[in-house]
Amino acid sequence: MDHIMSTVTQVVNFIKAKGLNHRQFKSFLEELGADHSDMPYHTEVRWLSRGKVAKRFFELREEICLFMESKGKDTTELRDEKFQCELAFLCDIMNHLDALNLQLQGRAHVITDMYYAVRAFRTKLRLWESQMQQGNLAHFLCCQVMKEQTATAVMPFAQFAEKLILLGAEFTRRFADFEAQKCRFELLSNPFAFDVNNAPSNLQMELIELQCNDTLKSKYDSVGAAQFPPYLPDTLPELRAQAAQMLSMFGSTYLCEQLFSLMKMNKTPHRSRLTDEHLHSVLRISSAQSLTPEIDALACKKRCQVSGLDPCASSE
């Protein structure tokens, strides 16, 4: 649906690129008493902004058309009902995709949690496709608005259902590698309910011992799947190695991108005394999942200065 987003981007750039147009547009919205006072900018690098821009554009579509007409611009395409229906569908599906993206972000996510989030989204796509073919817009709020404002025949339900099928096929293609690891993911997430017959032969004996250990089962129930592997005893080396492999897998590039952003912020011309050793230390600290510095102990050992004074000397 690039043609929809391309039109939206052109209109937003016309409004935001020039300061005069932007000021006039904000004043125009204030005079009309619109629900929003401005339009956000679309940024290609931060693709989550795409959904926000499209949704705001949809909510201000009538005000935008009036403003563009006051500037002598043609709004035939913007007022076209089919275009507005497609814009509504694009807003809804990108809103769902953005929600999935936010689920996958963060530092403390285990790959199994990410896999289950993606698998749940693929199941939702199948549900939406079935409902769309029946004309059910229960999970597409913007499309509901357009359905109330336009004739039912204008809403291209079959076209939208086809797009949902294509999106589901793309998810299947992109995450095909994870399907091959499905058995290992299930073994990590719930080893006590896992069918021993489906486990690899080198894990079956240890898995039986684990499932028959009520103490470990109690510990698993209290700490959860992600925190349970460190409690596996040394007598279960194969299970420990299996869990370590799964927990060390990168489910997304979030940590890499976060480190790159941090490095970019630190390596500025204003920090001329920053060496490779300093940068390495900064990256090691920032990549730690949870690290709390002992400031008092460091100060007493004179490894840092607190307000230029030696706290050990002052305490004496």
pLDDT in tens, 74-87: 999 999 999 999 99
CA 21 to the chain's CA centroid: 33
Q: Using the predicted structure, report yes or no on whether residue 179 has a pLDDT greater than 90.
A: no
Lowest mean pLDDT segment, chosen from 51-65, 98-112, 156-170, 182-196: 98-112
As a whole number of angstroms, the distance between CA 128 and CA 136 comes to: 8
| pLDDT for position 290 | 66
Residue with the bigger pLDDT between 92 and 151: it is 92
| pLDDT for position 42 | 64
User: Which residues fall within 8 angstroms of residue 128, CB to CB, at 6 or more apart?
Assistant: 139, 140, 164
Segment 233-259 mean pLDDT:
86
Q: Using the predicted structure, report yes or no on whether residue 274 has a pLDDT greater than 80.
A: no
Q: Using the predicted structure, report yes or no on whether residue 309 has a pLDDT greater than 60.
A: no
Domain definitions of the chain by residue range: 1-79, 183-248
Residue 46 binned pLDDT confidence (cut-offs 50, 70, 90): low
- For 133-155, the pLDDT digits (tens) are 999 999 999 999 999 988 767 88
As a whole number of angstroms, the distance between CA 295 and CA 186 comes to: 42
Segment 284-313 mean pLDDT:
64
Segment 263-277 mean pLDDT:
76
| pLDDT for position 16 | 87
Which of 139, 124, 135 lies closest to 161 in space, CA to CA?
Answer: 135
As a whole number of angstroms, the distance between CA 153 and CA 137 comes to: 14
User: Which residues fall within 8 angstroms of residue 232, CB to CB, at 6 or more apart?
Assistant: 210, 216, 239, 240, 243
pTM of this structure: 0.79
User: Which residues fall within 8 angstroms of residue 143, CB to CB, at 6 or more apart?
Assistant: 85, 88, 89, 92, 137, 155, 160
For 49, other C-beta atoms within 10 Å of its C-beta total: 15
Q: Using the predicted structure, report yes or no on whether residue 192 has a pLDDT greater than 60.
A: yes
| pLDDT for position 306 | 47
CA 303 to the chain's CA centroid: 39
Average pLDDT, the chain: 86
Nearest 5°: phi and psi at 309? -120, 155
